[in-house]
Structure 1
Amino acid sequence: MSAIPATLDSKHPTGDQTPGPAPAPRLTALRNAPWIVMALAVVVGAGAGAGSVVFRWCIQTFTRLLSGHGDYAASPGATNPHVPWLGPYFVLLAPVVGGLLYGPLVNRFAKEARGHGVPEVMLAVAQRGGRISPKVAVVKTLASALTIGSGGSVGREGPIVQIGSALGSTLGRLIGATEGRMKLLVACGAAGGIAATFNAPLAGVFFAMELILGTFSAEAFGATVLASVTASVIGRAAFGDNAFLNLPDFHVDHLTQYGLFALLGVIAAVVGMSFTRFLYLIEDACDWLWRGPEWLRPAVGGLALGVVLLVLPEMYGVGYPVLQKATAGGYAAGFLLLLLVGKMVATSLTIGIGGSGGVFAPSLFIGAMLGSAYGIGVHHLLPGTAGAVGAYALIGMGAVFAGGARAPITAVVILFELTGEYSIILPLMLAIVLATATSRLLSGDTIYTLKLRRRGIDLEGPAQGAAIGAQHVGTVMEPLPAPLPAATPLTDAADLLSLSGHGALPVVDDNGAYVGVVTAQTVAEALAEQPDAAPSTVRQLAEPPAVVTADQPLAQALHTLLASAGTGIPVLDTDRGSPVGWLSHQSALRAVHATA
């Protein structure tokens, strides 16, 4: 695939879109060299690692400012030393203050920073060529840190994924990366963010490939590994070589436990999908109730969140201390179930009022509460064979996440990295696979894709558009690939066409005027059939295909597309006759599929 100029956007074909001077062929080839991609992955990983350090510092700073504690969930119900006269009632005001700060910030500068972040990254990779606004990284950092620091019951993993991905996308734009490379750099940012946050480099790799890219390849694996390792090194230098949870060793001592773990996996899937439905039910309720300006919504809604925190202060922030205590058997079964329901309510309310934060950590929290309560129950029923309660908590964490996000590989890997205990792998895999299968039976969507589907976006389906025959070419065309200068030698053109995913590229003269299109087939035939007498440049091989304009009906343009060589044709501006986009077979098929 070829580079996508920042000024050419198929969704917004406005402004001066006459192709400027194309990059030198050798420079374009160099940008796509494998070693360059690997070097860029390291740079993105370093940026994601540094972003994680800054983000964690912001969370700690805002938490201390607004609660007076490093992590209020570790000492729930304590007073705020900054305002001791308020006693524990300060939690009624902390979310309001936080909402007054991050509400206007998100509403003014980056509305996509609202919510849990991962769906926006998935959408950018699936349908927007990996393009993410650079300001998202800054706004997401501040908004999520303020949300968590003021008591929002969300995780820091979703935000750092969006922050790292925005950094990767920005670097891709700066160097003029192709669309494929841009998507890969976005995935590298996501991998680095997860790796640095969890101190789990393998989990970062599989999270990026399983959820962000949705595909596996040797190149993607190599690049995301480099980014993940780089981010982990930076994270470990800043936070130490420790997992985000300190968990005891657990062992499976009796075969009967496998049946108990399997049942837990099925129950966890139901709980995971219930959390998903409840999250969006509360969001819908907040949308229905709120009638004021959006920038004020987090502050007003913060009053409701404050009431939840007053009743159940363990819900303040991410809640890792509570999670860790639950895995160690520190709570009774009844209170564990109360914490489970409380987390669902607090997280859903935080997102519903416009807060910014992830749902990854809340899923692990809910799973730990479920697993611990389940473990206590089976221990009473089968005291001789049930085993340690903590083992059920760990498996509950992975199973609930897998049931909600449907990312079984990531769930297995991250729990293994957290424990380092191989003996837990077999029951963990069993429970997670059953949770994933049960979740798929219950719903076609995950906690991430449901957010997009509610907006009318299907990641596995076509891009949004009108019915075929009614829409214009300009509504479905893709960004224009970087054109070849007419003076490009034939051998260089062959290299660039082989790197392109289009099979054909537009050609421009020294003044940037459109000359025509050259296809990989034409160049290959010229070099093979007459190597000595072949034209020296692509100018002699460039031919303008039949004209397709941006305002032309798609049904009419399909005939031209099918008759052309290569995998696409340029779309011309109606007035000036210069290319403004690219109509490919893939984009046409997406439009066709929209009416199926």
Structure 2
Amino acid sequence: MSAIPATEDEKRGSGAAARGRGPAPGGSRPARTARTAGPVGPPRGAWTVLVLAVVVGAGAGVGSIVFRWCIRTFTLLLSGHSDYAASPGAANPHVPWLGPYFVLLAPVVGGLLHGPLVNRFAKEARGHGVPEVMLAVAQRGGRISPKVAVVKTLASALTIGSGGSVGREGPIVQIGSALGSTLGRLTGAAEGRMRLLVACGAAGGIAATFNAPLAGVFFGMELILGTFSAEAFGATVLASVTASVIGRAAFGDNAFLNLPGFHVGHLSQYGLFALLGVVAAVVGVGFARFLYVIEDFCDRLWRGPEWLRPAIGGPALGLVLLALPQMYGVGYPVLQRATEGGYAAGFLLLLLAGKMLATSLTIGIGGSGGVFAPSLFIGAMLGSAYGIGVHHLLPGSAGAVGAYALVGMGAVFAGAARAPITAVVILFELTGEYSIILPLMLAVVMATAVSRLLSRDTVYTLKLRRRGIDLEGPVPGAPLGAQRVGTVMEPLPAPLPAATPPADAAGVLSRSDHGALPVVDGAGAYVGVVTARAVAEALAEQPDAAPETVGRLAEPPAAVTADQPLTQALHALLAAVGGGVPVLDAEQGRPVGWLSHQGALRAVHTTA
């Protein structure tokens, strides 16, 4: 996970080593509140970030209003309806003589407009957007071109308005993130702050789009930032709340879906929900794979200029829309009806397959839009069909069909994106019912676990890996990261016996070049690491409350092995409180060396 470095103001502040890392995985207990006089509160740098977070949230909220207005306008112009999925199969009043066949031409017209726009001004605006934001945060210091916000708004609105079966959350995430990155550059924010502002933009976009401020917060931290800390939480909350307030002022305080009431009437339903989570994982992973199979197929077929690709591929999407007009646009009216039990099981499965095909074709031919809403759509169809099935098999204990639709939405998204916290929170916010939490958490956890077994990647990271980019691996061309830990580690410091009293350990640590030392038990087995901070805290406690040995203070940090790439070990190193972490033998798990910040930097000097 990425660490957020502190500003110079924070470094000069109270003396606490607040580098935005959060608590160390290995060691000490939380620091006590200092008993000193003086002002209490965040340092000046933290206040600056909070103010910027509010500005980014406001920008994301306004961007959401503009984006939704563009979608509605282009949908009216190209289909004659504010949301064609609510009137599937109807004629376009602008060209009534075409009847329902206008859907064959709408994607072509939209492609002729957004294809050249994307190709000329911002190629990264093509596709579903979230992977590009994740890449910018992980490997590019949070830098996103400001052109992306404008191009993504127009391109995605044209794609959705002309029938593209994609979501609006991916575009608004990219739009909000571009605004956050631009503000960071204008204010001269450090790289860590830039990443945080990008996450704030993403959080604000999700919050305003779904009227779900909590989901926006966890989306920003879980998927975009990849870390949880007090500073990140505070900033994303401010951005999310600000965007939600602006969104509610424009659209009202209503969820984008009016979902049915939810309750668990029989304990046996929990087993059914767990099984639904397993099935949803298979469907979610299958959706991610199918998406890129279709994209590969379109890549092999097309040999012309990229700007023309969406228009030439438009008729293929039009044929799908002609057969299943419910696939036009985002499809919230269809999703709404499915949760209310308005479709038969067979038609629900047809809609599920149709959404997979329509979304994949939209992305494959060069369209711009998100996959979050399609995954919710697919989950609702799966859950509703599953609910109808179990209701016929177990009519006395299965419960309402709508309950399975709600849980299916969260479980399929969790299986595809592997973001369980976001999945649980957004469905909770959409329903407003606490009773959904237990079955939803059960299904989402099952979906996430099975998804990990089935696939290394998510629907977002798979796009990057296909381009040779590993978010957890070394950045191509970077001077630091590709080396193996074994080539840069230092000799292992003499370990402390677990039976050493804290007072004796203090003397050893005071003479050591490291702020931490490994600890071994009486048999020589590795126990963990004890930090100078943990020993100092123990010595400051009442004698009868303090631990008697350092073995009670030692905790193992995140495991670092000699055969790991340095880029993976840096996450554990940055999170460590002391001056380094032990390097373990991959087979036996015993310490064989020591990795420090200085040792990692020496690798750059050696390879230079």
Alignment of 1:165-176 (within 5 A): 165-176=177-188
- Contact 2:479/2:604, CA 8 A, preserved across alignment: no
2:125 equivalent to 1:113: yes
- The Cα RMSD (Å) is 2.4
Q: CA offsets per residue over residues 38-81 of structure 1, 9 Å max, x none?
A: 00000000000000000000000000000000000000000000
List, as ranges, runs of 4+ consecutive aligned residues in structure 1 with deviation greater than 4 Å.
1-4, 466-471, 583-593
Q: CA deviation at 1:129?
A: 0.2
Q: CA deviation at 1:447?
A: 0.3
Matched position secondary structure for 2:341: coil
Q: What's the counterpart of residue 247 of structure 1?
A: 259
CA gap 1:215/1:591 in 2 versus in 1, 3 angstroms: farther
2:85 equivalent to 1:82: no
2:59 equivalent to 1:50: no
Matched position secondary structure for 1:176: coil
Amino acid of the structure 1 residue aligned with 2:459: I
2:337 equivalent to 1:296: no
The correspondence for 2:74, drawn from 43, 62, 65, is 62
Q: Distance in 1 between the 2:322 and 2:599 partners?
A: 57
Alignment of 1:83-102 (within 5 A): 83-102=95-114
Matched position secondary structure for 1:33: helix
Q: What's the counterpart of residue 330 of structure 1?
A: 342
Q: Distance in 1 between the 2:482 and 2:345 partners?
A: 59
Q: Distance in 1 between the 2:118 and 2:254 partners?
A: 33
Q: What's the counterpart of residue 203 of structure 1?
A: 215
Amino acid of the structure 1 residue aligned with 2:377: F
CA gap 1:425/1:295 in 2 versus in 1, 3 angstroms: same
Q: CA offsets per residue over residues 445-496 of structure 1, 9 Å max, x none?
A: 000000000000000111013999999xxxxxxxxxxxxxxxxxxxxxxxxx
The correspondence for 2:226, drawn from 207, 214, 236, is 214
Q: Distance in 1 between the 2:460 and 2:402 partners?
A: 28
Matched position secondary structure for 1:457: coil
- Contact 2:59/2:179, CA 8 A, preserved across alignment: yes
- Contact 2:208/2:247, CA 8 A, preserved across alignment: yes
CA gap 1:247/1:174 in 2 versus in 1, 3 angstroms: same
- Contact 2:480/2:603, CA 8 A, preserved across alignment: no
CA gap 1:310/1:242 in 2 versus in 1, 3 angstroms: same
Length, aligned pairs only? 459
The correspondence for 2:330, drawn from 308, 313, 318, is 318
Q: Distance in 1 between the 2:606 and 2:425 partners?
A: 39
The correspondence for 2:240, drawn from 228, 251, 264, is 228
2:153 equivalent to 1:141: yes
Amino acid of the structure 1 residue aligned with 2:111: G
- Contact 2:148/2:178, CA 8 A, preserved across alignment: yes
Q: What's the counterpart of residue 524 of structure 2?
A: none
- What TM-score results when the alignment is normalised by the length of structure 2? 0.73
Q: What's the counterpart of residue 540 of structure 2?
A: none
Alignment of 1:5-24 (within 5 A): none
Amino acid of the structure 2 residue aligned with 1:168: G
Q: What's the counterpart of residue 281 of structure 2?
A: 269
Q: CA offsets per residue over residues 533-590 of structure 1, 9 Å max, x none?
A: xxxxxxxxxxxxxxxxxxxxxxxxxxxxxxxxx99xxxxxxxxxxxxxxx99768879
- Contact 1:468/1:591, CA 8 A, preserved across alignment: no
Q: Distance in 2 between the 1:84 and 1:59 partners?
A: 22
Q: What's the counterpart of residue 103 of structure 1?
A: 115
Q: What's the counterpart of residue 469 of structure 2?
A: 457
Q: What's the counterpart of residue 398 of structure 1?
A: 410
CA gap 1:261/1:468 in 2 versus in 1, 3 angstroms: closer
2:423 equivalent to 1:411: yes
Q: Distance in 1 between the 2:603 and 2:49 partners?
A: 30
2:379 equivalent to 1:367: yes
2:30 equivalent to 1:33: no
Q: Distance in 2 between the 1:232 and 1:211 partners?
A: 19
CA gap 1:32/1:444 in 2 versus in 1, 3 angstroms: farther
Q: Distance in 2 between the 1:415 and 1:377 partners?
A: 23
- Contact 1:328/1:390, CA 8 A, preserved across alignment: yes
CA gap 1:279/1:592 in 2 versus in 1, 3 angstroms: farther
Q: CA deviation at 1:305?
A: 0.2
Alignment of 1:551-570 (within 5 A): none
The correspondence for 1:178, drawn from 178, 187, 190, is 190
Q: CA deviation at 1:267?
A: 0.2
Q: CA deviation at 1:424?
A: 1.1
2:138 equivalent to 1:126: yes
Q: Distance in 2 between the 1:439 and 1:455 partners?
A: 22
Q: Distance in 1 between the 2:322 and 2:602 partners?
A: 55
- Contact 2:474/2:482, CA 8 A, preserved across alignment: no
CA gap 1:31/1:424 in 2 versus in 1, 3 angstroms: closer
Q: What's the counterpart of residue 507 of structure 1?
A: none
Q: Distance in 1 between the 2:365 and 2:332 partners?
A: 23
Q: What's the counterpart of residue 509 of structure 1?
A: none
Q: Which of structures 1 and 2 has the larger relative contact order (alpha carbons within 8 angstroms, sep 6+)?
A: 1
Q: CA deviation at 1:289?
A: 0.2
- Contact 2:199/2:221, CA 8 A, preserved across alignment: yes
Q: Distance in 2 between the 1:591 and 1:121 partners?
A: 31
- What TM-score results when the alignment is normalised by the length of structure 1? 0.75
Percent of paired sites with the same residue: 86
2:321 equivalent to 1:309: yes
2:377 equivalent to 1:377: no
- Contact 1:67/1:94, CA 8 A, preserved across alignment: yes
CA gap 1:188/1:318 in 2 versus in 1, 3 angstroms: same
Structure 1: give runs of 5+ residues left out of the alignment: 5-29, 472-565, 568-582
Q: What's the counterpart of residue 200 of structure 2?
A: 188
Q: Distance in 2 between the 1:146 and 1:274 partners?
A: 28
Q: What's the counterpart of residue 356 of structure 2?
A: 344
2:432 equivalent to 1:420: yes
2:290 equivalent to 1:283: no
Amino acid of the structure 2 residue aligned with 1:252: V
Q: Distance in 2 between the 1:413 and 1:191 partners?
A: 13
Amino acid of the structure 1 residue aligned with 2:141: G
Q: CA offsets per residue over residues 497-521 of structure 1, 9 Å max, x none?
A: xxxxxxxxxxxxxxxxxxxxxxxxx
Amino acid of the structure 2 residue aligned with 1:74: A
Q: Distance in 1 between the 2:481 and 2:411 partners?
A: 46
CA gap 1:588/1:342 in 2 versus in 1, 3 angstroms: farther
Amino acid of the structure 2 residue aligned with 1:300: I
- Contact 1:251/1:391, CA 8 A, preserved across alignment: yes
CA gap 1:74/1:99 in 2 versus in 1, 3 angstroms: same
- Contact 1:113/1:136, CA 8 A, preserved across alignment: yes
Q: Distance in 2 between the 1:133 and 1:276 partners?
A: 27
